[in-house]
């Protein structure tokens, strides 16, 4: 941003008071192999590509999703929400970065 006199001004931002309360907490993605039907929604919509489809077959004969890189996970919960079979759960835990 530049002022009328040609000097640049930096706008200072502050953290919201409830930043710690509202920020996402590290978690662990747990996929229930018994329920996963391999639709791929979780893999397709993961914003950080932390999930991928495996070559492994589940007990019902479907290829199942798996966690590719737990450290990429934001714990946003989108995979848990979008799963039509309720096969994904986010558990609180350590997500070391």
pLDDT tens for residues 53-70?
A: 999 999 989 999 999 999
pLDDT, position 22:
73
Structural domain total, the chain: 1
Task: Give the predicted TM-score (pTM) of the model.
Answer: 0.70
pLDDT tens for each residue of 79-97 = 999 999 999 999 987 544 4
- Domain of 42: which CATH number? 3.30.70.20
- Give the Cα separation of 90 and 92 in Å (integer): 7
Residue 53 maps to a domain: yes
Find the mean pLDDT for residues 47-58.
95
Q: Are 76 and 95 in contact (CB under 8 A)?
A: no
Q: 79: domain range?
A: 30-92
Q: How confident is the model at residue 16 (pLDDT cuts 50, 70, 90)?
A: confident
């Amino acid at each position: 941003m530049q002022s009328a006199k040609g000097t640049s001004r930096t706008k200072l931002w502050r953290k919201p008071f409830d930043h710690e309360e509202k920020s996402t907490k590290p978690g662990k993605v747990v996929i229930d192999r018994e329920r996963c039907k391999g639709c791929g929604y979780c893999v397709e919509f993961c914003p950080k590509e932390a999930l991928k489809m495996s070559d492994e077959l589940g007990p019902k004969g479907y290829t199942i999703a798996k966690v590719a890189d737990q450290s990429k996970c934001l714990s946003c919960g989108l995979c848990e929400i979008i799963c039509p079979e309720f096969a994904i759960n986010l558990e609180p835990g350590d997500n070391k970065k």
